[in-house]
Structure 1
Amino acid sequence: PDYMVPSRVVPLEALPLTPSGKVDRRALPLSDGAEDVDFVAPRTVTEAALARLWSEVLGMARVGITADFAALGGDSLQAVQLFAAIARELGRDLPVATLVEAPTIERLARLIEGEEVSGWDAVVPIRTGGEGPRLFFVHGGGGTVLFMRDVAASLPSHVSLYGLQSEGQDGGPMTGWRVEQMATRYLEGIRAIQRGGPYLLAGYCFGGLVAFEMARRLQTSGERVALLALVNGQNHNPQPSGATGAGQQTAFGRGPSVSRAGGRRRRRTAQRLAAALFSGHSVRAARDALAWRIDAVRADPRVRERLGWLAHHALALGGRLPAAWRPDYIAAMTTRAERLYRPLRYEGKLTLIRGAGLSPDPLLGWGGLAAEIEAHEIGGPQRLRRELITPPLVTALGARLARAIEATHPAHQG
């Protein structure tokens, strides 16, 4: 399509890379005259404030109000930083998914200046209006749907894409954090858009578990699932189907059933955390109140999960989680949900799409849990799981999903 055809081409000897091996878009040179032609200066106080915040987060000298956040190289972590800064300096606590609807400073300023911002909704339209099928794509462990814009751009134009995002994006508690609870809520959301099958479902990473559970429930209720595609979706619990996960030991103790003394200690710790979170202190002060260093929290998954679980208890006491805390909280809860989920067999076809080197098991732990399994591998060795959902590999992912969709809707082929 025309919007994917570049207006300029700048030859380079090699692409600049970040330490993680991704393309460093901020280090890419501008083509001659690109800055003068494309830059649109802020016109209002709000646009000027947003331009300053975008420049700080993205590490750029200046940002025009019509520039797209993702096109400038912004990722999900920078999006969280941006919206934390917006909440702190402009007083508007917006969900990160707002970037799907308002990816530019110009559009975001309109929302901040008075347009009504809808609250959390499980279903986020990523690209709609196509006359073909609808694909419902479940979030990964971070709960956000921002990466799906790249996926949508790689799909045929007649396919509509809807993202499913987790609770907690607005700072509230994840009241339904288990896989089974997410499946229930997400099915309610997609049925409000599409009343009957055939359904097309996909899930990224952790979201693969939720998509699998959704497909199984739809099938059990008599609905047809035309596509169930898991993207880097591993099943780490290939236990017999009778296992329920009750009483499952975790990295920091047991599940919901804890000793009375342990429960009292956890409540006291949660109360201290709540006081730090909701009393206006900074994120660093809140974490220091629990004697955990920020780098330790992010480096040690067990500590991160414990912090998230305590934040869950703290949220039950009231208040909203600061924006900078939300990724750790959501990731902790989805990690816990992943550990407790025990999938039952799905009597349908399961399509696995994985990055090279993800696992020595080509079926990613799903062997015996579906009537038919079709596995595909994309790209060369990848150091990071998310490389499959970012350029350039996301194009190959979109092509693979497109082939799977067209196989279920042959009328749109050609």
Structure 2
Amino acid sequence: MLDRQAIERALCSIWEDLLAVEVTPDDDFFELGGYSLLLVDVVAEARKHGFTLTPNDVFDHKTPAAIAAVLLPDGSAAPERSDQSQSGADPDFAEVWAGGRSPVEVEPVPTLTPLVERGTGTPVFCFHWGAGNVRFLRDVVDTFRGDRPVYGVESVGMWSRERPSLSIVEMSTRYLREIREVQPHGPYLLVGPCAGGRIAFEIARQLEEVGEEVAVLALVNAMPPGTNELDAGWGLRDYYDFRLASLRQQFGVPNLGADRERVMERMVETAKIDAGMDPADLHWRQAVWAAGNFAQEHYEPRPYGGHAMIFQVAQSADREDADWGRVIASTEVRTFDAPDTLPLLRDPSFAEILAKKLAEFPA
């Protein structure tokens, strides 16, 4: 049977392996260089050592000694721990999700939103990333669109309480239905940043199935299906709790409502939300994020016989699982030193390459 000292030793060992530093029981995970996504590996390794750990345990308590004290306060049996943060007043996932409505209960809100309405010819369609929002792209599309109009596709649930789909295939089918109301036939021009890359890929695949041409499929810092960033064994509550804990850590608040105005301003600055969101929807939007990530982690793709432009960041270039060639017949890969998706989208070299590609097709 595990005791507190055994958990401390296990956590120190796990952190040493993952962070490549020496760890003592009183060391802070984040001060040692730990970060949110690495907690997925910490949780998985803890299970192998025989005890159950959640990301919130590390976010809230930070050191092996403090975590072990919470898991086994009397040295013998673990108590029931809240699904919420120990210090937080953020609402539980069940409460937030219950405030949503099934698509059969509400009038669907369109997911297609004009980013740039002016222009002529074949439009460009850009897809939302993991947070579900897309309107932040208004700041960048002028750098590559030429004279074309641009539409954004945002997640169900962005501006309503309609529950989003938990399937990439199902959500892509809905998005494509709206896209074809604007443009009934190809050639189609599709841009998918980050998590939106898998959506753009699935829509291209569905268009290919019905004999329509996809002239441009641009995937921007997007990992292929089957590349799991989080834990595919998690449920919606796990993703939601992870998201809240990560945001609390990032913004240094005990719960997201504690300093809502400042938190939302920072989230707009980093494009995690779009301006104009109702403050009452802050936690609902994180539930939408959880649903989107659940769909991403469980997407099982079919091969696509067309061509794609892959814009990747240097830090993922050498990863074997970053190869879209596993599911796409033909790829053209460009690598950039940008640290993440938003800087890549704002990179003048990226804009120049994509603009040149779009210009190959008559407006």
Alignment TM-score, normalising by the size of structure 1? 0.49
Corresponding position: 1:216 with 2:205: yes
Query: Is the Cα contact below 8 Å between 2:126 and 2:153 reproduced in 1?
Result: yes
Aligned to 2:345: 389
Aligned to 1:5: none
Query: Is the Cα contact below 8 Å between 2:314 and 2:335 reproduced in 1?
Result: yes
Corresponding position: 1:196 with 2:185: yes
Corresponding position: 1:161 with 2:143: no
Q: Distance in 1 between matches of 2:244 and 2:313?
A: 30
Cα deviation code 1:130-174 (max 9, x no counterpart): 123211111100111122112222124412111000011124133
The structural deviation recorded for 1:332 is 1.1
Query: Is the Cα contact below 8 Å between 2:108 and 2:162 reproduced in 1?
Result: no
Aligned to 1:400: 353
AA matched with 1:187: L
Q: How does 1:258-269 map to 2 (within 5 A)?
A: none
Q: Distance in 1 between matches of 2:200 and 2:128?
A: 9
Contiguous gaps of at least 5 residues in structure 1? 1-117, 240-248, 256-265, 267-286, 301-319
Query: Is the Cα contact below 8 Å between 1:139 and 1:204 reproduced in 2?
Result: yes
- Cα RMSD of the aligned pairs, angstroms, is 3.3
Aligned to 2:234: 252
Q: 1:298 to 1:250 in 2, by over 3 A?
A: farther
The structural deviation recorded for 1:388 is 1.6
Contiguous gaps of at least 5 residues in structure 2? 1-106, 251-277
Identity of paired residues, percent?
29
Q: Distance in 2 between matches of 1:210 and 1:359?
A: 21
Aligned to 2:294: 336
Structure 1 segments of 4 or more deviating over 3 A? 249-253, 292-300
Q: How does 1:1-150 map to 2 (within 5 A)?
A: 120-150=109-139
Q: 1:332 to 1:365 in 2, by over 3 A?
A: farther
Q: Distance in 2 between matches of 1:402 and 1:128?
A: 18
Alignment TM-score, normalising by the size of structure 2? 0.56
The structural deviation recorded for 1:404 is 1.6
Q: Distance in 2 between matches of 1:299 and 1:235?
A: 28
Bigger relative CO (Cα 8 Å, ≥ 6 apart): 2
The counterpart of 1:351, out of the listed 306, 309, 321, is 309
AA matched with 2:342: R
Corresponding position: 1:174 with 2:163: yes
Larger mean CA deviation between 213-222 and 365-374 belongs to 365-374
Q: Distance in 2 between matches of 1:141 and 1:159?
A: 25
Q: Distance in 2 between matches of 1:225 and 1:388?
A: 23
Q: Distance in 2 between matches of 1:354 and 1:324?
A: 30
Query: Is the Cα contact below 8 Å between 1:229 and 1:352 reproduced in 2?
Result: yes
The counterpart of 2:194, out of the listed 196, 201, 205, is 205
AA matched with 2:350: L
Q: 1:197 to 1:143 in 2, by over 3 A?
A: same
The structural deviation recorded for 1:333 is 1.2
Aligned to 1:17: none
Q: Distance in 2 between matches of 1:147 and 1:158?
A: 19
AA matched with 1:220: E
What is the DSSP-based 3-state SS (H/G/I as helix, E as strand, rest coil) of the residue aligned with 2:206?
A: helix
AA matched with 2:223: Q
Corresponding position: 1:152 with 2:141: yes
Cα deviation code 1:218-277 (max 9, x no counterpart): 0110111111111111015169xxxxxxxxx84435x9xxxxxxxxxx9xxxxxxxxxxx
Q: 1:168 to 1:371 in 2, by over 3 A?
A: same
